[in-house]
Amino acid sequence: MGKEEISVSEATAVGLGAIIGAGIFVLSGTAISLAGSYSILAFLFIGALSVLVAMSLGELTTIFPHEKGSTYSYVFKAFGHELGLLTGVMVYFSFSTSISAVAEGFGSYLSSALHEPSLSLIFAAILVVALTLVNLSGVQKAAKTDLVLVAIKLSVLSVFIVFSFYFAFLHFSPSHFSSTPSQSEVLPFFSSSIAIFFAYTGFQVITSFADDVKGGPRNAAKSVIYSVLISMIFYVLVVVSMIFLVPVSQFRIDADPLSFALAYSHAPSWLHVLVDVGGMIATASATLAMILASGRTLYQISVDMKLPKLLAKYDSSRDVAPVATVISSIIAFITFFAGNIYVIAAISNFGLMFSFIMSNLALLHFRRRGIHGTYVMPFFPVTMIISTLMLLSLMLGFPREALVINMVIIIIILLISYILKDLKEFDDRLSKVK
């Protein structure tokens, strides 16, 4: 009997589960605090960008349907070891640093529920330790995308939206949408877009099982686009709902914006508890998934790029890469001290932005050589150029700390890459002499 295939609607549901999750629970308030009501436009801007990136990745998926490394695999195929390694490690650092951002969200929602705001970071650190141990034990086999968790997240957000619209019906105030002068400038719009970018990028998960989608990678590509479009509509509704409850000038950079909005509007306690529990479920499941994904990404890069064997250590009985998983959690702990939730999200986003730009260039590389997928990016190369320019425009919004940290990482990776290359060439020469 052949393996069971996933329908387009099921694949789209998985994509929705990966996209609509921790990002909207954790960073929506930060986006509003930076750009005020213009954050609604920023959500549409990043949504449109995500659709274009999804189209590019969709075609690459149909060109290489059996590649599991996603973006860095495509770059490796197109440009070789050095750029492939650089892209892979940048994606890995994006995953591993995002662990701390999402865990901070969990800590904030739990501390909100317990009315102990000073314990937020402690709760976040405990979560990372606990879920690292869960991953190392092999229990992560039961932590695959679960439609029940997806249903819970969407249901909680739907209740939040309905309450907010009802509240607006009774107490609507147009002044809630009045942005401050600092929120109305150009740079804050791109800073807000950086925070929002973190909330959209889960659509990549569909590319990891493109072979299993009914109709093949072509339908998987469609599922990616559908999931992004539906998420964009949902996100805009959530942000408008939040502004119904709280004036844009009152939002601040914190990791539990939905709780803040409900507290500000004196919402019923049952709704506050529901949203706090929903936020904890969304952030805990996302933290578990990111620890798993980052550990496996480092393991896969180590195997593909022939990195030191210690990094490629794998426990097949527990289906876990123990060394890679521990390293990912250590990076997450270090990232806790990098800055506030916005800075941490920006550090994480840089690696994804870099990988998407390189994926676009990889697609251009293959197209120039006459290689096409069964799904073709519409209006190529115009859409690819627009996508790349939109990604580059996000550089305007990155905080200085995120840029400095990522530039240092890039330099270190390039140095290590060339050292490894020289060592390999030296070993090759020695073996020839022998």
Q: Which two tokens stand for residue 408?
A: 């240092």
> Tell me, what's the pLDDT at 209?
58
- pTM of the model as a whole: 0.85
| 227-233 mean pLDDT | 84
Q: What confidence tens digit (pLDDT) does each residue in 79-136 have?
A: 887 888 888 889 888 888 888 988 888 898 899 888 888 888 899 999 999 988 887 8
Q: Which residues contact 334 (CB under 8 A, 6 or more apart)?
A: none
Q: What confidence tens digit (pLDDT) does each residue in 242-292 have?
A: 999 999 999 988 888 998 999 899 889 899 899 988 888 888 877 887 887
> Tell me, what's the pLDDT at 18?
67
- Assign 253 to helix, strand or coil: coil
Could you tell me the CA-to-CA distances from 127 to 105, 110, 241, 323 in Å, in that order?
A: 11, 11, 29, 19
pLDDT at 42 over 70: yes
DSSP string, 407-434: HHHHHHHHHHHHHHHHHHHHHHHHHHH-
Which runs of consecutive H residues, i.e. helices, occur in 115-206?
A: 120-137, 147-171, 186-200
> Tell me, what's the pLDDT at 159?
92
Q: What confidence tens digit (pLDDT) does each residue in 17-30 have?
A: 667 767 788 888 99
Q: What confidence tens digit (pLDDT) does each residue in 294-329 have?
A: 887 788 788 777 777 777 777 776 667 788 888 988
> Tell me, what's the pLDDT at 145?
43
| 415-429 mean pLDDT | 73
Is domain 8-433 annotated with CATH 1.20.58.340? Answer: no
Yes or no: say if 74 and 60 are a contact pair by the CB < 8 Å rule. yes
pLDDT at 146 over 60: no
pLDDT at 362 over 90: yes
Q: What confidence tens digit (pLDDT) does each residue in 156-182 have?
A: 889 999 999 998 888 888 889 999 998
Q: What confidence tens digit (pLDDT) does each residue in 50-59 have?
A: 889 888 888 8
> Tell me, what's the pLDDT at 69?
52
Q: What confidence tens digit (pLDDT) does each residue in 179-213 have?
A: 999 898 899 999 999 989 888 877 666 665 566 67
Could you tell me the CA-to-CA distances from 282 to 176, 270, 373 in Å, in that order?
A: 28, 18, 35
Q: Share the mean pLDDT of the chain.
A: 83
pLDDT at 67 over 70: no
Report the distance separating Cα 16 and Cα 150, nearest Å. 8
Q: Which two tokens stand for residue 116?
A: 């102990």
pLDDT at 390 over 90: yes
Residue ranges of domains in the chain: 8-433
pLDDT at 364 over 90: yes
CB-CB neighbours of 424 under 10 Å:
12
Report the distance separating Cα 287 and Cα 126, nearest Å. 12
Report the sign of the C-alpha dihedral through residues 157, 160, 166, 167, in that order: negative
Percent of the residues in the chain that have a pLDDT greater than 70, as a whole number = 88
